[in-house]
Chains A and B, each alone.
Chain A
Amino acid sequence: MTHSLHRSGDIESQKKDFNWFMYQTKGVNDKNIKPKALEFIAAAEAVGSENWGDVKTGPITQLPSEEIRAKITDKSRIRGVFTKREQVVAFLKRIKEKDLGMSVVITGVLSEVLPACREAAVTPHSVNYSLGVWGRKDLLPDDVTLSITTMCGHHMIPPRFVKYVMRQVEKGKLTPEAGSVKLANFCYCGIFNQVRCADIIRKETGRETPPDR
């Protein structure tokens, strides 16, 4: 469960945040998945997937993509990130044409994803809505921190570490991009959008990346 439907933050920022997932179904189509997983990765890379990974190994922000590919097994979970609707359309067209038979899930802002489905001539089967957060919301971190931590569905990103990265960027010890990769490496799955994260850090700290870094 990637929790990706509960990503939070500014809506314009979320419009640049899509997750793609390949799913095998236990006991149905979960044997010898590697060739199909490699097709998914090839399609995602061909359209510029900014991050991807396998929960069993890690994300490409941390490991060479060849290593992740080599370690794919039938227990792997392959998923990643797009930042543009055009990438979603092109990815869906490629996967549909390949007709691999694996389940495909896209998470994102509905007003972006549904038109992408129409454009790719894909008919969704089902939709999973987020009905928000309930309970002790008074205990939650601030909204900016949440917009970053919710990009790891397993919530492995400590809010304290987000603050630490923000301070390092403010002091000029890290660029927004380098800080966002540090945060991305907490997320095993590769669904953390480090491009969006760098935008959030840049906006929050007022720090631009120096041209020579």
Chain B
Amino acid sequence: MIIHPEICVGCGRCQPYCPTKAIRYEGRKSVIDQDICYECSTCLRAAHCPVDAIAESHNVYDYPRALRRYFSDPSARHVATGIEGRGTEETKSADVTRRCGPGKVGVAIEIGRPNLGMSLRDVQKITRAIARAGVHKIEPHNPIHSMIADEATGDLKPEMLGERLLSAIIEIEVEREQLRGILRTLKEVAREVDSVFCVDAFTVVEPQLHIPEEVLESIRAEGFTWRPNAKINMGLGRAWE
């Protein structure tokens, strides 16, 4: 995003609307720091500039800068997947897709959330750590999958590493017995990442609303705790006839 200096009247009204504090005064005009801006377009959409000085950057859809828009503006569709947003439907439609069935656990690492955003270098720290832990398959419909240069090492495509995103999600599927190792890896890499990430663990529910004890035990054993709130798929979906 940019602010046209010849139009800006310097009222500063747009500044608190930026999720990443990229808008600041330079002299008596508001300017957007292009290194920090995620191209989320919140300033354009929500700030209602009184003189319409806010506009899209000319290079917003140039690769690799376009990644900022695809991952940071929820209304943008990612060109690699055709999926709006940053991840996949994951647990939300698992009753239809049968993704992550019995014996498996889905793990999602939501990097940059809450609130901080991150560099793709931080994403690479995690993809590399996961690869070292023996998991080389990122969910194929997740945008991060197409950004991996080397599945063996977890390296991202090098030209992307300078980009910053509001958030991204790494989604993997592991056998239940692998869960402890992955959680341990995430605890370790948390010390290297210069942002935050949220961890999700997704499992099928067994009869009588029973959560598989093996999954819960792995979570406890690695010093993780699950929060009281969770996302629950109600099992009402199906493929249409």
Q: What 0/1 readout, one digit per residue, does chain A (117-129) give for beta carbons within 8 Å of chain B?
A: 1100011111111
Q: Name B161-216 residues within 8 Å CB distance of A.
A: 166-167, 169, 183, 186-187, 190, 193-205, 209, 211
Interface residues of A (CB under 8 A from B): 1-8, 11, 14, 21, 23-26, 28-29, 55-56, 75, 77, 92, 95-96, 99-111, 113-114, 117-118, 122-137, 139-141, 146, 149-150, 154-161, 163-164, 185-186, 188-189
> Quick one: given A29-B239, A136-B195, are A131 and B233 in contact (CB under 8 Å)?
no
Complex CA gap A29/B97 in Å reads 11
Residue of A nearest to B40 (CB): A156
Distance to closest chain B CB from A5 (angstroms):
4
Chain B hits for A109, CB < 8 A: 228-229
With beta carbons under 8 angstroms apart, the residue of B46, B187, B225, B237 that contacts A186 is B46
Complex CA gap A14/B231 in Å reads 13
| Interface contact A126-B233, CB-CB below 8 Å | yes
| Interface contact A131-B201, CB-CB below 8 Å | yes
Q: What 0/1 readout, one digit per residue, does chain B (1-24) give for beta carbons within 8 Å of chain A?
A: 000000000000001111111000
| Interface contact B234-A92, CB-CB below 8 Å | yes
| Interface contact A6-B196, CB-CB below 8 Å | no
| Interface contact A158-B42, CB-CB below 8 Å | yes
Q: What 0/1 readout, one digit per residue, does chain B (54-72) give for beta carbons within 8 Å of chain A?
A: 0000000000000000000
With beta carbons under 8 angstroms apart, the residue of A7, A107, A136 that contacts B196 is A136
Chain A hits for B231, CB < 8 A: 2, 4-5, 105-107, 127-128
Distance to closest chain A CB from B146 (angstroms):
16
Interface residues of B (CB under 8 A from A): 15-21, 40, 42, 46, 74-75, 77, 82-97, 100, 106, 108, 110, 112-116, 141, 166-167, 169, 183, 186-187, 190, 193-205, 209, 211, 219, 224-240
Q: List 23 A-B contacts (CB under 8 A).
A: A6-B200, A14-B228, A25-B96, A28-B240, A104-B237, A106-B234, A113-B232, A114-B232, A122-B234, A122-B235, A122-B236, A124-B205, A124-B232, A128-B106, A132-B198, A132-B224, A134-B186, A136-B116, A137-B196, A139-B116, A140-B116, A156-B40, A188-B74
| Interface contact A189-B74, CB-CB below 8 Å | yes
Residue of B nearest to A153 (CB): B113
* From B21, B86, B234, residue with most partner A Cβ within 10 Å: B234
Chain A hits for B224, CB < 8 A: 131-132
| Interface contact A117-B209, CB-CB below 8 Å | yes
Residue of A nearest to B238 (CB): A101
| Interface contact A126-B230, CB-CB below 8 Å | no
Give 13 new A-B contacts, CB below 8 A, not counting A103-B89, A130-B229, A140-B196. Answer: A1-B85, A1-B87, A124-B235, A126-B205, A127-B205, A127-B230, A128-B90, A128-B201, A134-B193, A135-B190, A135-B193, A160-B21, A163-B16
Distance to closest chain A CB from B102 (angstroms):
11
> Quick one: given A95-B236, A125-B95, A158-B17, are A7 and B42 in contact (CB under 8 Å)?
no
| Interface contact B228-A110, CB-CB below 8 Å | yes
| Interface contact A128-B74, CB-CB below 8 Å | no
| Interface contact B202-A102, CB-CB below 8 Å | no
| Interface contact B19-A158, CB-CB below 8 Å | yes
